[in-house]
Amino acid sequence: MRHGFKAQAERLSISVREDLGQGPHDPLAVERYAERLGVVILTFAELEISAASKKQLLVADPESWSGMTIKINGLNGVLVNPEHAPERWPNTIMHELAHISLGHVATRVDVGPDGILLVSDFSQDDEDEADWLAGALLLPRDALRHFRGLGQSAEDIARDFGVSRQLCEWRLRMTGVDIQLRRGGRLTR
Ligand SMILES: [Zn+2]
């Protein structure tokens, strides 16, 4: 990951919330953020393609994809795999939005059913950045420190922020928040 990228991601998590009229510790309004980027979040039900095409997208590789960016009639859309648990969707959406906001260029674009462009395959560096930025935007380090400092568990925070516990635990580990609080003697559980 580029030098300074992690700090940049934390700054972005604050400025994005400011733009949306949200506080630094608020759960991100994911759909409004997508709107700002001019991206539509699509469910399979809303996708105006034939049932056969939907089936083709879904069965292509149902386990391996959580979300994908598509271009349909000149519109940017993010499609979420409905087979995956709903608490994973925000991170899936934010991962795709991170690729878009960072201007990542896909190494592969496929033409899917009904002429939909499927934007897929990014470099590993781009994937790492998108993972990191998505996590930072959904669970800013400062917010984690704040709520952990108040004694909330990873599960509490995940629920309040509408994300999976796994993502919250990953962020707590990767940001070093728990280690920092433990050193300061402020972590009780
Ligand atoms: Zn990706």
> Residues 165-188: pLDDT tens digits?
999 999 999 999 988 888 887 776
Domain count, the chain: 1
Per mean pLDDT, which range of 29-33, 112-116, 168-172 is the poorest?
112-116
Residue 37 resides in a domain? yes
Task: Provide the whole-model pTM.
Answer: 0.90
- Mean pLDDT confidence for 35-46: 88
Q: Where does the pLDDT of residue 112 fall: very low under 50, low under 70, confident under 90, or very high at 90 and above?
A: confident
**Count of positions (residues) in the chain:** 189
Task: Give residue 177's pLDDT.
Answer: 93
Task: Give residue 44's pLDDT.
Answer: 77
Checking if the pLDDT of 117 tops 70, the result is yes
Q: Is 183 exposed, middle or buried (0-12, 13-18, 19+ CB in 10 A)?
A: exposed
Residue 146 resides in a domain? no
Q: How far is the CA of 151 from the centre of ligand 1 (A)?
A: 33
Task: Give residue 126's pLDDT.
Answer: 95
Report helix, strand or coil for 135. helix
**What is the rounded end-to-end Cα distance, in angstroms, of the chain?**
31
Task: Give residue 83's pLDDT.
Answer: 81
Task: Give residue 138's pLDDT.
Answer: 98
Q: How far is the CA of 189 from the centre of ligand 1 (A)?
A: 34
- Mean pLDDT confidence for 2-6: 93
Average pLDDT, the chain: 90
Q: How far is the CA of 134 from the centre of ligand 1 (A)?
A: 10
Q: How far is the CA of 121 from the centre of ligand 1 (A)?
A: 7
Checking if the pLDDT of 4 tops 90, the result is yes
Q: How far is the CA of 63 from the centre of ligand 1 (A)?
A: 15
- Mean pLDDT confidence for 109-118: 80
Q: Are 110 and 118 in contact (CB under 8 A)?
A: yes
Checking if the pLDDT of 65 tops 80, the result is no
Q: How far is the CA of 157 from the centre of ligand 1 (A)?
A: 25
Residue 134 resides in a domain? yes
Residue 121 lies in domain: 5-138
Which tops the pLDDT comparison, 121 or 56? Answer: 121
Q: How far is the CA of 123 from the centre of ligand 1 (A)?
A: 9
Q: How far is the CA of 25 from the centre of ligand 1 (A)?
A: 26
Q: Which residues, in sequence order, are bridge partners of residue 41?
A: 78
Task: Give residue 108's pLDDT.
Answer: 83
Residues with CB under 5 A from ligand 1 (ion): 127, 130
Q: How far is the CA of 120 from the centre of ligand 1 (A)?
A: 7
Residue 174 resides in a domain? no
Q: What's the CATH code of the domain at 118? A: 1.10.10
The first and second tokens of residue 53, run together, are 């095409």
Task: Give residue 91's pLDDT.
Answer: 96
Residues 6+ apart with CB under 8 A from 43: 79, 80, 82
The H or E element that residue 141 is part of is helix 141-149
Is the dihedral angle over the CA atoms 132, 133, 139, 140 positive or is it negative? positive
Task: Give residue 31's pLDDT.
Answer: 95
Residue 145 resides in a domain? no
